[in-house]
Amino acid sequence: MIHIPDFANATPVQIIFCFLSFITLITAFLAIFSRNPIHSALYLVICFFTIAGHYLLLNSQFLAIVHVIVYSGAIMILFLFTIMLMNLNKQNEVHKPRITRLGAIVSFCLICVVLILIFINSKPIEGEYIATGEDYQSIKVLGRVLLNEYMVPFEFASVLLLTAMIGVVLLSKKEKTEK
């Protein structure tokens, strides 16, 4: 059974959480269903900012700031440049064949079913929480963990972003026509 919160007895944090969740969901749907790619990218930026607000509610200030800088800043600027360079807003663009759309719908439905089944079959962790006393909000601890234990995935992510950037430049490069 779904529990609907009672807003008469809600704390300010719960009200802010519900407001941020509402804005996040609305802008995420608008980003998906918007026909204009520029508007879609702007809705995604608003969605990223509200997710940063969720991080702030979880008392994770460093993660919120990094999220704003990386996603709302760098990644969305890359998206906007890609959209503008490739000129995806053409009205005479060829529509996808029906089989491609059908495949996308079937894939989406299968992913939704799998996620719903995982959610239904998941069980909460039971037991006591053991506090180690280590401050995971510390930049020193985060840097040590990121650059020691997760060095290879961190480097893979940087190579992937570099490859994507080179791909965008090559795709947007106009071919010279000989006269």
Neighbours of 15 (CB within 10 A): 12
Q: Answer yes or no: do 1 and 87 share one domain.
A: yes
> What share of the chain in percent tops pLDDT 70?
80
C-alpha 40/C-alpha 32 separation (Å) is 7
Q: Answer yes or no: do 1 and 54 share one domain.
A: yes
Neighbours of 84 (CB within 10 A): 14
Quote the domain boundaries for residue 78. 1-91
Res. 84: pLDDT tops 80 = no
Q: 91, 123, 153 — which closes off a domain?
A: 91
| pTM beyond 0.85, yes or no | no
Q: Per the domain annotation, does 123 fall within a domain?
A: no
**What would you measure as the largest C-alpha separation in the chain, in angstroms?**
76
Place of tokens 């430049």: 169
Note whether 56 and 90 are within 8 A (CB): no
Q: Which two tokens stand for residue 45?
A: 């930026």
Q: Per the domain annotation, does 83 fall within a domain?
A: yes
Place of tokens 């989406």: 108
Q: Per the domain annotation, does 3 fall within a domain?
A: yes
Which of 35, 74, 68 lies closest to 53 in space, CA to CA?
68
Place of tokens 């941020």: 20
Q: Quote the DSSP letter at residue 66.
A: H
Neighbours of 28 (CB within 10 A): 17
pLDDT of the residue at 178? 58
Q: 91, 119, 147 — which closes off a domain?
A: 91
Which tens digit of pLDDT belongs to each residue from 98-121? 887 788 889 888 988 998 888 888
15: Cα separation from own chain's centroid: 23
Which tens digit of pLDDT belongs to each residue from 18-60? 999 999 999 999 988 888 877 888 898 899 999 999 999 988 8
